Structure 1
Amino acid sequence: MVQIVTVYPGSNGESLLFDVSTDQFAEIIKHIGDGPTRLNQNHSPSVDDYHNASRIQYVVHLEGTSEIEVADGTIKRLNPGDILIAQDITGHGHITRGIGQGIRVSMNVPLEEGPWLPKG
């Protein structure tokens, strides 16, 4: 089963993680934003310490496994087919870890900001 999660800045500036339903995601992807769709390749193992999303986007994990962690200790493991909606362009940010060995591949698609984006 595909896992869809979002990371977004909470009212205290700390990023939060929670699950998104497929129905919610179907509404979200109607709002593709300006900018290029990117294919990214990264090596695992790796750690990208606290950072913000570069833009509001959804990230489809195509190959490899990664973990997203926020300050409250919540961790989500993302496998091929899983989707992350990255909204935390401000605040403390999140940690990304590449798990295992080899290449991780993802596709990043920009989203418009708006009320259709889930916020806890």
Structure 2
Amino acid sequence: MTRTAVCIYAEADGGSRLVNLAIPLTRKVIAEDGTAHWEGIAPASIWGIASGDPNHATDWHPCGMAGLSITLEGEWEIEATDGTRRRLGPGDVLVMLDTTGTGHRSWPGGESRCLTMGVGFGEGVEDQMRALLAETLAAR
């Protein structure tokens, strides 16, 4: 099973693009003895929850590190250098792979604050996500 996420990535020319990316879901498994474990879980290196000011927009910038941005509350918009924009709301997941180049810009999508959870990819996960992105782009 998968879930569709928005992915921002850098192209060879330094520009950024947005694409839908089907990311695999993990699965909770209950053993016969009642203990639970997760299958398919990926390691994370860092995480945090940020509160976005509804009056603050960012200028062009690449992501500081590859990871996820998960919108918990409110809305915000992201724009790639090709002019494509996406509005992200509660439950939306952004896969951040534009760690080089011009990057993206973003701004609040409403009048209230926006809460997002940022999760930095752990060892090997960025490579897995870039491979998934390459497969997605090749299939277009």
Structure 2 length as normaliser, TM-score? Answer: 0.74
Count the aligned residue pairs: 115
- Larger relative helix fraction: 2
Please say if 1:116 is aligned against 2:129. Answer: yes
Shift, 1:45, TM fit:
3.1
Give the one of 80, 94, 106 matched to 1:84: 94
List per-residue Cα deviations over 1:43-93 (Å, max 9, x = no partner). Answer: 113210101111101111001111110111100110110000011111010
Q: CA RMSD in A?
A: 1.9
Identical amino acids, percent of aligned pairs? 27
Kindly tell me: are residues 104 and 3 of structure 1, through their superposed partners in 2, closer, same or farther at Cα, counting changes over 3 Å?
Answer: farther
List per-residue Cα deviations over 1:4-62 (Å, max 9, x = no partner). Answer: 100011121101100012xx3437x743332x211111111321010111110111100
- Secondary structure in structure 1 of the residue aligned to 2:25: helix
- Secondary structure in structure 2 of the residue aligned to 1:100: coil
Structure 1 length as normaliser, TM-score? Answer: 0.85
* Equivalent residue, structure 1, for 2:113: 103
Shift, 1:3, TM fit:
5.3
Conserved in 2, the CA contact under 8 Å of 1:43 and 1:101?
A: no
* Equivalent residue, structure 2, for 1:26: 25
Structure 1: tracts of 5 or more residues without a match: none
Structure 2: tracts of 5 or more residues without a match: 27-39
Shift, 1:103, TM fit:
1.1
Aligned mates of 1:66, 1:88 — CA distance in 2: 18
Conserved in 1, the CA contact under 8 Å of 2:60 and 2:102?
A: yes
Which protein has the larger Cα radius of gyration, Structure 1 or Structure 2?
Answer: 2
